Structure 1
Amino acid sequence: MYSVAALALVSIAVISGTELEWNIGTLSLLGVLGILVPGYAANSVMLLRTRGRSKPLKGWQEMLAYTLAALGGAAAAAFI
């Protein structure tokens, strides 16, 4: 989940041509808003759907979690 969010963040930032200031504030903002929060949200969707048990998800449920992670990572590029 975290890699999907990170990939979406980087791809949207590159496509939009956003110039980054490479300091600790920007990197921490990207890390929290662009990777951790969408990854946690997608993981929560998966846990809520399986009720914490180790049963497999259906295809649409897993796609929902990945979509949530990707959209969260892409939306974080707006905060840069």
Structure 2
Amino acid sequence: MPTGVRANGSDMYDIDIAPYELLIHRILDLNSASKHTVMRGLLEAVLAPSVVVLERSGRPIKPRSEQETELLDRAKELSMAK
């Protein structure tokens, strides 16, 4: 599955937002379906900043459950450079 992330230099990346958004939605689906606490913690470490990237790109994720709402709220509290 394409990630939409391409290296363009030392520690710099370009994001093709369409495939990136699809990837993040699939990771969110996997996270929501999982009952494995450790796996969910690892996935949420990736999801939180990814949610912020999507929101800043004009593609906010709409929560489908209380669990997703809580995750998205935590993600919005992250301190990330603009």
With the length of structure 1 as denominator, give the TM-score of the two structures.
0.31
Greater Cα radius of gyration, structure 1 or 2:
1
Relative CO higher for 1 or 2, CA cutoff 8 Å, sep ≥ 6?
A: 1
Q: Pick the structure with more strand per residue.
A: 2
What's the TM-score once normalised by structure 2's chain length?
0.30
